[in-house]
Amino acid sequence: MEIRVRNIRKSFGEKTVIGNLSLDITSGSFTTLLGPSGCGKTTLLRMIAGLETPDSGEIYLGDRCVFSSVKNISIPPEERGIGFVFQDFALWPHMRVRDNVAFGLKARKVCECVDERVKEALHAVQLDDYINRYPSELSGGQQQRVSFARAIVTEPECILFDEPLSALDALLREEMRAELKSLVSERGITSVFVTHDQTEAMSMSDMIAVMNGGFIEQYDTPENIYSNPKTVFTARFVGVSDWLDDSRMFRPENAVLSDDEGMYKSSVTGLEFMGSCYRLILNHEGQKWIINADKPYQIGSLVYVNIENKSIVSIGKRG
């Protein structure tokens, strides 16, 4: 299912949350809306779902217009044919796993093969043996799997994810990233994923929309978002950016350190042990740089940083 958003605007009172935003999401792709808190990413997701009503603009799911301020169209969420996975799992505590998963089918008045479809969905998320348990008897990761099963049991063409991994611990989050991506990719489901976590966005996405202040700063592949940021905000929000001046930056891994000679003489002002490397905090003519090193350096010592011209990205005025 292709998703097309056209000139969407949304305000809450006098505050504009989404300002004249357009976005095309390819059918079968995994697209992430990435940005800081308050940037509008969840509001955009909820408008696609029909849980929020835009002030103006249009939204298309496939060839069907589900919202248009001009045509006076506003299709309710339950008729849009999409799945939604919430941040807090949103499971009914008084229902067993089987009933939580079946809830979407019953809401759509599906009566045929309900038990079979529920079992298939639970098998897909490796919870075959938990069908009769209550949510309180499950771990956080298992509850999240139930919410995934509930989203796929209706066989939607699109699933929207609102920071579904944020409540999990770091190790489980990493495990669930791979499982979630595999789950939707195998089924060819168009997925829109909201997060402020760069690692989630970079590791899972086919495309990333970096959002800031209700607008899209850059919509591109993870590789281009990182290596060729088009705006200062993107460069600074995604990864670590070291700045030569107000318009030129480089990524730390593209720098080569030398103890005795090089292009940019810098002093070590901080040192952090990261396990696989040491992170140096450098001062170069008033600019704070972060560079990885394979050995520790004394605070106050001098190092030289070398950068190839092809690794320097020119962006424009720094914001």
Amino acid 316: pLDDT = 63
In a domain, 236, yes or no: no
pLDDT, tens digit, 9 for 90 and up, residues 84-126: 998 877 889 999 999 999 987 887 777 778 899 999 999 988 8
Sign of CA dihedral 105, 110, 115, 120: negative
For residue 221, give the CATH number of its domain.
3.40.50.300
- Do 204 and 245 lie in a common domain? no
Does residue 191 lie within any of the structural domains? yes
If 0-12 CB within 10 Å is exposed, 13-18 middle and 19+ buried, where does residue 114 land?
middle
Q: Are residues 95 and 142 in the same domain?
A: yes
**Claim to verify: residue 295 and residue 216 sit in the same structural domain:** no
Using the 3D structure, point to which of 201, 227, 253 is the last residue of a domain.
227
Identify whether 181 is part of a domain.
yes
pLDDT in tens, 10-36: 999 999 999 999 999 999 999 999 999
Give the separation between CA 209 and CA 212, rounded to whole angstroms: 10
Percentage of the residues of the chain whose pLDDT score is greater than 70: 99
Residue 275, domain CATH: 2.40.50.140
Query: Residue 171 pLDDT more than 70?
Result: yes
Window from 124-138, 171-185, 212-226, 289-303 with minimum mean pLDDT: 171-185
Edge to edge, the sheet with strand 207-212 lists 82-85, 158-162, 190-195, 30-34, 207-212, 215-220
- The count of domains in the chain is 2
By CB atoms closer than 10 A (0-12, 13-18, 19+), residue 103 is middle
Asked if the structure places residue 57 within a domain, the reply is yes
Contact by Cβ (8 Å): 179, 147:
no
Q: Say yes or no: 223 and 245 in one domain.
A: no
The percent of residues in the chain predicted with pLDDT above 90, rounded, is 78
**Domain co-membership, 163 together with 40:** yes
Q: What is the mean pLDDT of residues 223-230?
A: 95
The whole-number average pLDDT for the span 269-278 is 94
* Model pLDDT, residue 5: 98
Shared domain for 266 and 165, answered yes or no, is no
Establish if 235 belongs to a structural domain.
no
The answer to whether residue 234 is domain-embedded is: no
Q: Residue 149 corresponds to which tokens in the numbers above?
A: 């099963």
Predicted confidence (pLDDT) at residue 80 exceeds the cutoff of 60:
yes
Final residue belonging to a domain, choices 193, 227, 261: 227
Contact by Cβ (8 Å): 58, 7 = yes
Domain boundary among 159, 193, 227: 227
**Measuring CA to CA, which residue among 60, 52, 76, 64 is closest to residue 24?**
60
Same domain, 222 and 256: no
In a domain, 233, yes or no: no
Residue at 102 is within a domain = yes
Check whether 210 has a pLDDT greater than 60. Answer: yes
Look at residue 319 in the predicted model and tell me its pLDDT: 42
pLDDT at 317: 52
Q: Are residues 109 and 216 in the same domain?
A: yes
The per-residue pLDDT for 318 is: 41
Is pLDDT above 50 for 42?
yes
pLDDT over 90 at 170, yes or no: no
Residues 197 and 294 in one domain: no
Q: Residues 186, 257: one domain? A: no
Of 1-5, 54-58, 160-164, the one with minimum mean pLDDT is 160-164
Please indicate, yes or no, whether residues 80 and 166 belong to a single structural domain of this protein.
yes
Q: What is the mean pLDDT of the chain?
A: 92
Q: Which pLDDT belongs to residue 95?
A: 94
Position 128 scores a pLDDT of 92
Torsion of Cα atoms, 165 then 166 then 171 then 172, to 10°: -40
Domain range spanning residue 72?
Answer: 3-227
Predicted structure pTM score:
0.90
Same domain flag for 120 and 28? yes
